[in-house]
Each structure stands twice: as structure tokens, then as C-alpha cells.
Amino acid sequence: MTLAEALPASGAAPAPETVLRVEGLCVSARTEQGLKPLVQDLSFDLRKGETLAIAGESGSGKSITSLAIMGLLPQPAVRVTGGSIRFGQQDLTALSESALRQVRGDRIAMIFQEPMTSLNPVMTVGAQLSEAIRAHAPVGRTEARRRAIEALRAVRLSEPERRMGQYPHELSGGMRQRVMIAMALALRPEVLIADEPTTALDVTVQREVLDLLRDLQARLGTAIILITHDMGVVAEMANRVIVMQQGRQVETASTEDIFGRPQAAYTQALLAAVPRLGQGSARAPVTGEPIARLSDVVVRYPLRGGLLGRITHNVHAVDHVSFDIRKGETFALVGESGCGKSTIAKALVGLAPHQGRIEIGGQAMQGLDPAGMKAMRRRVQMVFQDPMAALNPRMKVGELIAEPLVIHDIGDAASQRARAADLMARVGLEASHLDRYPHEFSGGQRQRICIARALALQPDLIIADESVSALDVSVQARVLDLLRALQSEFGMSYLFISHDMAVVDNISDRVAVMFLGQIVEMGTRAQIFGNPQHPYTRRLIEAVPIPDPRLKRLSRPRDASEVPSPVHRPGHEPARVILRDIGDGHLVGTSVG
Amino acid sequence: MAAYLIRRLIQSALILLGVSFITFFLLFVLPADPVRQIAGRSATAETVENIRQQLGLDKPFIVQYGRYLGALLQGDMGRSYLQKTEVADLILSRLPATLLLMLGAIACELVLGLTMGIIAALWRGRALDQTLMVTSFVTVSAPQFVVSLLLLYVFAVKLGWFPIGGYGTFAHLVLPAVTLGILGSGWYSRMMRSSMIDVLRADYIRTARAKGLTRARIVLRHALPNAILPVIAMIGIDIGIFMGGIVVVESVFGWPGIGQLAWQAIQRVDIPIIMGVTLVSAFAIVLGNLLADLIAPLIDPRIRLR
């Protein structure tokens, strides 16, 4: 059997057979307070060749369900406490470990969220693939290798023979996820569980991987369980949807019905919170003074080598970037990983060595003494992606919020505490919770704490670097509302850095699109999203999955080319992008060599 | 790679230069007088002064150090004050014994330490894990002379399985090597355990399980090569700790290595020997670290030397 072999086309057949039946599944975790239910009374059928999405926010039990099916629950702490998972003649919950091992990887396979960490870093791609094949098929090395190469070819990976000898770190994220898919589908399993398969990928790569999964499914007839939080992915991929919340099945219906006629209040709220392209609130253009001004900013990181440690290459992280952020404006930087958007944020707070000129409030950053630099830092504050990592777990929330005041020596202890309490209230938290520690708050609340801390110094500019990316959509929507409300109250500017086009469309006034360290297009929100000119901008917008199954896109021609490298030899200047005004300040880039 | 090696060797030479300077300085400011040791208690002040001049010990520090370094660069480590032989010859004659003991001890350390660490990680939180970790704690905190004397008493004196001391056969090697091995194994087992626990939580181990691999294959093929990486760096550092332990253990077991030589030389303030042994030990440590760094990329292809 080979991956390339086509299945007989199915005509208007009767309802396809059920391959997996979950009945009354309960999974519980053992805690100090006794058994805590993680999944309660979950039932569904999975039919041959269909895609069933299990959607929900964090803590909904969707990943636990997939691990339960695979028999990969972290036992004995978490275990199945009721119900059955029928797969053919077997009940997977009752199988011994060795019997389960026969099923895993052979008849039910799984791909995971993090392609960067899901492959063993010290084994070649070929060894990991062949091993998966030889674990179940009684074949020799040569035959396993032949099948592995064929599997790599099936996932449209270029130069499959060479890939076999490469290690995971030599491949990009998208390529690694293809390897994972090749590994999962090499033995043609009846069921594929894809747990957030594209969440860690850039949006254009996500598009390619989703297309690939759909094509392979059509060819192999695999039934897919798609675990995701992204309603856009659900709409594009699934036939049926189960919506889960806190371990319970809230609603089960066809994809059309879930999006068209959601029954449960939770489903309705979830769908309402999903950011969509083209729903940005039209706001009068902001015409204030520029609060931050970047002219020809260049950031390069040298790579050293050789006997004397000379610079052999430079990473061109940011190349000749110029833009203004006006007072009271939300300026968004979008682009995929490695495009240099976070490096610009670092340069703006003086944390990245740069050439060119950066002005904050009319004052240049170059040549400032440490005291001047400290004063300048007061005017720019940051909110990061992962609030848990950004808050010292051993400090109380009150201390964390007041710390900028302590550093800049503003007021006495009593007034600092009063200010912290005031800020807590401003961001929608209880002022009485000042003496709690970060772990006592939820993810969204922690991000509010980070925002309160950024507000403490009344900055002119807040840099929000992927600040809502790690949050569930319903929480994300509320944090975005908070950011908007705070802006109209205090009048500060935001530099909003994000890879999520829909979120950017919702919050920003002006947008700059970055690619390989350079801005390729810049303009108002309406210009960029309504009339995208640069091919890369178009590709980004088109790649965003749309949470509406009626707008399912047909397969478009794929651009499987890899992103070129930003690493250059010293003295070598990459092609500069020259921005040209096509009217009303809409700048579009053209490359000149 | 060649550039990396050359740079590392230059760095190593600088480290050895620093070690030679510091050791020489410490011996210079030491209140013990080597000339008194040579001349004996009954010698006249004149004799003492003569010897001092002969050895050049009346010169200022910088001149003495300059002379020593100049000779050293020509491969001359000087002559022992008391044994009247070349230091280089003394060290060379004793180095094989020490290297043998070192290899035996490291093998012992790794076999004991890694096995205990892996087993403890796989049975984490159970009684077996706790027993092993208490054991490792005892070995880490036990003084060298206590362990060596205990082993000597039980296995040599009472049971008579091994000779009490000396050098020559495999039987002679067992007790000193096991002593050093037991003492070092505690560090390795603790490190291996925590490294292994981390690795067993990794996403790629979950992937390996999802492929339906056997537990043995997951542990040996997927977890072990990843978990052993920090341990390899440890071996390089360990040689330093080992050089300290060898002085005591060689003396207890009468093992004719450079540790014993150093011990005798320190008692008699025989400066050229102390200098020579210190430099050879420092060289071993530097070399051990270099080897550890060169081995790491063979296991983990992500590590690039530059």
C-alpha cells in the first residue's frame, strides 16, 4: 500500500461506516482535593473519511480527549474514569499497554501542536520516519527507507532523499510539521488526531499545511479528529463540530449549523468573540504630532567565526525602516516570524544596538547618557506575549505594578501603593487583590496586570508585542476592548505588534507590513486591508482562515517557496525595498537590487 | 573546526600560564622555607645561605618566576630539591599509574551514576527512587578517607578479596577505583536523574509514544542521548574534582601516582615537584574540558563549534 495510491471514488454512498465511537467518556485528574473531572460524559461517532473538529478554549478538555483516545494520558495522575472508546471490535480504554501500542501509530496516529519540539533533535528525519514504519510493519531497513522517502514525497517536501539525512533543526517549522504528518500517515492509519496542528505556524504556512491535510484525506480516506481553538480553521476543515467548554460537550452539529445557527449560548458567545477580517471599526484618522519617529533604522546581529572571531556574516534583522507613530494612534506592525517586528520594539526601548535615528517625543535616542536613557524609557513601556513569564512569580501584584514607580523614584511607598490600587481598578481587577501573587490569577487577568504595570509611568507609547496572541478568543476580545478604552482615556499611542491579521484589522489605525526586515507596504487600516497592493500583503490576508464555512475557498495555486535568508556576508547589501506613495499616504514597496 | 581548535589551544595555554603564575606566587609567599628542609635542622646559617643562592631563591619573585617559566618553555620542569632528579622524569614515571586509576574511577563513576540516575528517573517518586537518592546523597557527602578506609577494612582486611595496597595487578586497582567511583557517582546520578526527568517530559518523547514504540526503545534511543548531554560537560569539570580526591586516595592505598608524589612534595616544600604536579593536573583539566566540548556535537548535531 502506498500513499500515492488513489482510493476508488465514492459515489452517493450510504452514510459511511463509523470507525471510532466514544461513549460517555469521563476523564479525571487526581488532586489533593480528590478527583477533578477534566472531561465529562463525552460521546461522539467518527465516520470514515470525515473531519470532526473538537473546538474550545483552554481548559475545555479537548486535548485531554485526544490523549485519552491515544492512551497517552499522564497516568496515574490523569485517567479514564468512565465510558468507552470503541475502535473496531476493541474498547481502547480496556486495552493493555502492549495492545495499545499495536494500535498507536499504526491504526490511530497523532500530530501535535509544536513542530519545533515534537521531533527528536538528535535523530535524523529519516531515522525517525523509518522507526515509525518498522515499529509496526515487518520490513527491513531498505524497504522502510523507501517507504519513508515516499511518505516525505507525499507531503510535498522538496528533495526527500536529502531530507532523510537532515536533523530537525535544519528544517523550518512548516517543513517539520510536514515531517510529522508524513510520519503519522506513513502507515495509513484509519484515524488521524491533529491537535492544534497549525497553531504554532505562520499564517501562510498554516494555509499550506491545511491544504495538504485536506488533499491527503481525500486520497487516503482517513478520518480526522481536529482539535483546535481557531474557529477559522474549523470552518475551513471540518464536516462536523463538537464545541466543548470546561470538559463538557456544549454543542454538536454540522459545521454549517454551528456557524449558521448556533444553539448554545456559549457557542454564540465564542463565535461573536472571534476576530474577523473586515470588521474593524472605522475611526477618524489620527492626525496628531508624531510621538515616535524612526528614520532609516538598521539592526544587524553579527555572526562571528574563524580564528580571530571576525564577523563572517550579518543577520539583517531590521533593514532601513522608517515610520512615525502619531500621538493617540494605534500603529500595527504585522509580519511572520523572523521578519524583524519584535526587533523594532527592542530598538525603540533601547535594547537593540541600531544605526539610524530613533526619536521619542522629539528627542533623539542617540548619544543619550544613562540618566537621559532612563528618562526616555519612562515614556515607552512594553506589554509582552506571555504574561506568566513577564511577571516575577515571587512578587506580589501590588509590588509588580508599583515597581516602575520605585525604579524611577516617584512618590513614597504609600502613594505608590495607592497608585497600584488605582491602576488595578482601571484595568478591571479588584484593587483588594494587590497582595496576591501572579499564579492566583487567570491568563487574561495576568495580561491586565502587565497592562497596569505598563500604565504606571503614564507613558506616551505602549508597545504591545503579541500581547493578545496567547489568550483565548473571548479573553482576547475583552483585553482588546480594554486597550481601546484606556487609549481614549489616557490618549497614549500603541505600537501593536502581531502576526494575527484579523486582530490587527480590528484594533489599528495604520498598518505596516514587514517582510525580511523591511517594510513592504504601509498605510491606513482601510488601505492595507481594503486595497492591498504588495503581493506579500495579499498573501498574508488571503491565508487567514475565515470563520464562515460558506466562504470555503477553493484550492489556490500554492507558493511553496521558502522564505529567503536574512543572513548576508559583510558588505553585501540585500535588495532594498523602496516605498512609493500611490495616493493618500498609501506606501507600496518595490524591490531594487 | 580547525580555527576553533587553534583558538581553544591558545586559550588553554593562557590558562596554564595563569595557573603557573598563581601557584608560583602562593609558594613564594608561603611561610615554609624550602631551604631549611633541604639543609636540615643542624645546618649553619652560612650553609643555608649558600643553598639559597645556589637555588636562586634569594632573587626577587619576578626573576625567579621568569627563570622558571623560561626553563618550562624549553621543556625543563626543574629538579626536585630533595630527590635530586628531574621533575619531568618523576612525573612521567608516575603518570601511567594515575591515568589508569583515573580511567578506572571514571568508568566506575559513570556506570554507577548513570544507571542509578536512569533507574531513579524511570521510577520517580517511588521507594526505589528515594532509596537511590538517599544513597547518592550519602556518597556525595562522605569524606574520601572515610570511604577508602571503610572499603579497605571490609574488602581487604576482613574479607581479603583485594590486596591492602600497592600497584601491579587488576586486583590492586579495584578498591581505589571503586572508592573514587562511589564518591563521584552521587553527582552523576543526581544530574542524570533530573536531566532524564526533563527529557521524559519533552514533546518528542510523546511523539515516540504516539508512534507505538516500546518503552525500552523510547528510553534508550530517544531519551538517553538527549539526557546525557549535560552529563558529558560534567565529566570535563569532574576531572578537576577528581585531581583533589586522588591525593587522598593514592596515599591511603599506597598507589604510586602523582597524587602520592604531590602529597610527599607538599610536606617537604619541594617547590619544583609541586609546580610540576599542579601544571600537569591543570593540563588534564583543560584537556578534559576540551574533549567534553568536542564530544558534545557528535551527540547533538545542533551544537556547532566556532
CB contact under 8 A, A121 and B7: no
Contact A120 B300 (CB under 8 A): no
* Residue B204 forms contact with A (CB below 8 Å): yes
What band does A127 get if pLDDT is binned at 50, 70 and 90? very high
Band of residue B33 on the pLDDT scale cut at 50, 70, 90: confident
- Within this chain, do residues A306 and A196 fall inside the same structural domain, yes or no? no
Are residues A334 and A230 part of one domain? no
pLDDT value of residue B237: 79
Whether residue A22 is contained in a domain is answered as yes
Residues B65, B66, B70, B75: what is their CA dihedral angle, to the nearest 10 degrees?
10
Note the pLDDT of residue A200. Answer: 81
Residues A230, A116 share a domain = yes
Query: Which residues of A are less than 8 Å from B300 in CB distance?
Result: 121-122
**Which residue of A122, A125, A191, A227 to mutate against B (max B Cβ within 10 Å)?**
A122
| Closest Cβ–Cβ partner in A106, A123, A307 for B212 | A106
| Domains: count for chain A | 2
Output the pTM of the full model.
Answer: 0.82
Query: Measuring CA to CA, how many Å separate A349 from each of A261, A380, B268?
Result: 48, 7, 62
* Closest-CA residue to B206 (of B192, B194, B222): B222
Tell me whether residues B204 and A119 touch, CB distance under 8 A: yes
Q: Name the residue among B155, B112, B159 with its Cα closest to residue B136.
A: B112
Instruction: Kindly give, in sequence order, each residue whose CB lies less than 8 Å from that of residue A344, ignoring residues fewer than 6 positions away.
Output: A294, A297, A299, A318, A321, A333, A495, A497
Determine whether the interchain pair A104/B6 forms a contact, defined as Cβ–Cβ distance below 8 Å.
no
Pair A241, A310 in one domain: no
Q: Which domains does chain B have, with CATH numbers?
A: 2-73 (no CATH), 95-267 (1.10.3720.10)
Q: Which of A104, A122, A307 sits opposite B3 (nearest CB)?
A: A307
Domain membership of residue A404 (yes or no) is no
- Choose one of A215, A238, A273: the last residue of a domain: A273
Same domain? For A370 and A240 the reply is no
Q: Does A167 touch chain B (CB under 8 A)?
A: yes
A65 — pLDDT class (breaks 50, 70, 90)? very high
The pLDDT, as a whole number, for residue A261 is 93
Distant-in-sequence, close-in-space partners of A236: CB < 8 Å, separation ≥ 6: A210, A545, A546, A549, A552, A553
The answer to whether the beta carbons of residues A184 and A98 sit under 8 Å apart is no
For the segment A465-477, what is each residue's pLDDT rounded down to a tens digit? 988 888 888 888 8
Residues of chain B contacting A105 with CB distance shorter than 8 Å: 210-213
Same-domain check for residues A545 and A583: yes
Query: What residues are paired with A85 via a beta bridge?
Result: A22
Asked if residue A410 is part of any domain, the answer here is no
Residues A249, A316 share a domain: no
Rg (chain B; Cα; Å): 24
Phi, psi (rounded to 5 degrees) for B122: -70, -30
Q: Is residue A424 part of a domain?
A: no
Residue B79's pLDDT is: 84
A interface test, pick of B197, B211, B306 with most A CB neighbours within 10 Å? B211
Specify whether A228 is located in the same domain as A131: yes
Q: Which pLDDT value is given to residue A7? A: 46
Residue B266 in contact with residue B274, Cβ under 8 Å?
yes
Q: Does A114 touch chain B (CB under 8 A)?
A: yes
Collapsing DSSP to helix, strand or coil, A52 comes out as strand
Nearest to B206 among A72, A132, A169 (CB): A72
B225 touches chain A (CB under 8 A): yes
| Confidence bin at A520 (pLDDT 50/70/90) | very high
- CA-to-CA dists, residue B232 to B106, B110, B291, angstroms: 12, 10, 9
For B200-207, what is the mean pLDDT?
Answer: 93
Strand order of the sheet with strand A248-254?
Answer: A108-111, A191-195, A223-228, A51-55, A240-245, A248-254
Least confident of A71-85, A142-156, A541-555, B207-221: A541-555
User: Using CB atoms within 10 A of its CB, is residue B277 exposed (0-12), middle (13-18) or buried (19+)?
Assistant: buried
Higher-confidence residue: A403 or B303?
Answer: A403
Which residues in chain B have Cβ-Cβ distances shorter than 8 Å to A101? 212-214
Distance CA(A157)–CA(A176), nearest Å, equals 10
CB contact under 8 A, A122 and B212: no
B223 contact residues in A (CB cutoff 8 A)? none
Q: Does B302 touch chain A (CB under 8 A)?
A: yes
Angle at B16 between CA B11 and CA B17, to 5 degrees: 95
Domain of A340: which CATH number? 3.40.50.300
Say what the pLDDT of residue A559 is.
55
> Residue A280: is its pLDDT beyond 70?
no
Does a structural domain hold residue A46?
yes
Co-location of A109 and A40 in the same domain = yes
pLDDT value for A14:
60
Q: Is residue A532 part of a domain?
A: yes
How much of chain A, in percent, has pLDDT values that exceed 70?
Answer: 94
Measured in angstroms, the CA of A107 and the nearest CA of chain B are apart by: 10
- Tell whether A279 is covered by a domain: no
Helix (H, G, I), strand (E, B) or coil at B184: helix
Cβ A324 vs Cβ A494: under 8 Å: no
Is pLDDT of A12 > 60? no
Mind giving me the DSSP string for B234-279?
Answer: HHHHHHHHHHHHHHHHHHHHT--SHHHHHHHHHHTT-HHHHHHHHH
CB contact under 8 A, B204 and A114: no
Residue A8, burial from CB neighbour count under 10 angstroms (0-12, 13-18, 19+): exposed
Verify whether the Cβ–Cβ distance B221 to A131 is below 8 Å: yes
What's the pLDDT at A423?
A: 93
Mutate to test the interface with B, among A118, A176, A195, A227 (most CBs of B within 10 A): A118
Instruction: Provide the pairing of β-strand A330-334 with A510-515.
Output: parallel
Q: Assess whether A43 and A174 both reside in one domain.
A: yes
Question: Last residue of some domain: A241, A273, A305?
Answer: A273
Please name the residues in contact with A32: beta carbons below 8 A apart, sequence gap of 6 or more. none
- β-bridge partners, A382: A463
- Answer yes or no: is A91 within a domain: yes
Same domain, A118 and A238: yes
Out of B206, B210, B306, closest to residue A109 by CB: B210
Are β-strands A51-55 and A34-47 bridged in parallel, bridged antiparallel, or unpaired?
unpaired
Last residue in a domain, options A273, A304, A324: A273
Please state the φ and ψ torsions of residue A476, each to the nearest 5 degrees.
-55, -45
B166-194: per-residue pLDDT in tens?
888 888 888 889 888 888 888 899 999 99
Give me the domain span that covers residue A209: 18-273
Same domain? A336 vs A196: no
Which among A72, A136, A306 is the nearest to B210, CB-wise?
A72
Q: Which of A418-422, B146-150, B228-232 has the highest mean pLDDT?
A: A418-422
Structure-model confidence comparison of residues A288 and A125, the more confident one: A125
Interface contact flag, B210 A114, Cβ < 8 Å: no
Torsion, Cα B253 B254 B260 B266, to 10 degrees, reads 100
